[in-house]
Amino acid sequence: MPIRPAREADLPAIADIYADAVVHGTATYELDPPDLAEMRRRLSVLTEGGFPYLVAETNDAVLGYAYAGPFRPRPAYRFIVEDSVYVAPQAKGRGTGRLLLAGLIEASTRLGFRQIVAVIGDGGPESPSVRLHAGLGFAHSGTLRGSGFKHGRWLDTVFMQLALNGGDTSPPDPASLPERRFRESR
């Protein structure tokens, strides 16, 4: 299944996939699906910032998407990205999420980030997202108990983390995307 950078033409499918996750799932804590204009804005902000935004497709149909974006806005966090992975209902359980997350890890590593973090809504041990991330080397790094309320129940948020490019074992690479962007903003 090909993984490629997302394009604006993918947005209707991306919006549909996310709307299903918002309406039926607990991985995202949004309660109302954003409209196409908002999804366009989100794609634009990330891609213009140099962050990876990927889709998985087969037979010209988008079956899932994933992106890495800023973990937090404070500049000291600039070496950490937070991943998001969403798969169309008909593509779940077929390895689509794994391919997308592996692509994000590769792209984030290439860009010079040092940590990739997953913030997983409804992140119990049997959560498909927890299993997906653990299968690609992420380690559990914390739980916020009862941090969300959706579909009539309290949800835990699980944090998982994967070190990239040596993590915290060496100084930042001055040629990395986060360091270049930081220097340009000063």
Give the pLDDT confidence of 99-116 residue by residue, as tens digits.
999 999 999 999 999 999
Residue type for position 177? L
Q: How confident is the model at residue 123 (pLDDT cuts 50, 70, 90)?
A: confident
Cα gap 19→34, rounded to integer Å: 7
* 2-24 pLDDT, tens digit each: 999 999 999 999 999 999 999 99
Whether 122 and 86 have beta carbons less than 8 Å apart is answered as no
User: Over the stretch 56-81, which tens digit does the pLDDT of each residue have?
Assistant: 999 989 999 999 999 999 999 999 99
Looking at the chain, the whole-number percentage of residues with pLDDT higher than 90 is 94
84: three-class secondary structure by DSSP: strand
Residue 155 has a pLDDT of 95
In angstroms, rounded to a whole number, what is the distance separating the alpha carbons of residues 140 and 173? 26
Model's pTM, two decimal places?
Answer: 0.95
Q: What is the pLDDT of residue 1?
A: 82
Adjacent-strand bridge partners of 121:
157
Alpha-carbon gap, residue 132 to 51, rounded angstroms = 21
In the predicted model, what is the mean pLDDT of residues 70-99?
A: 96
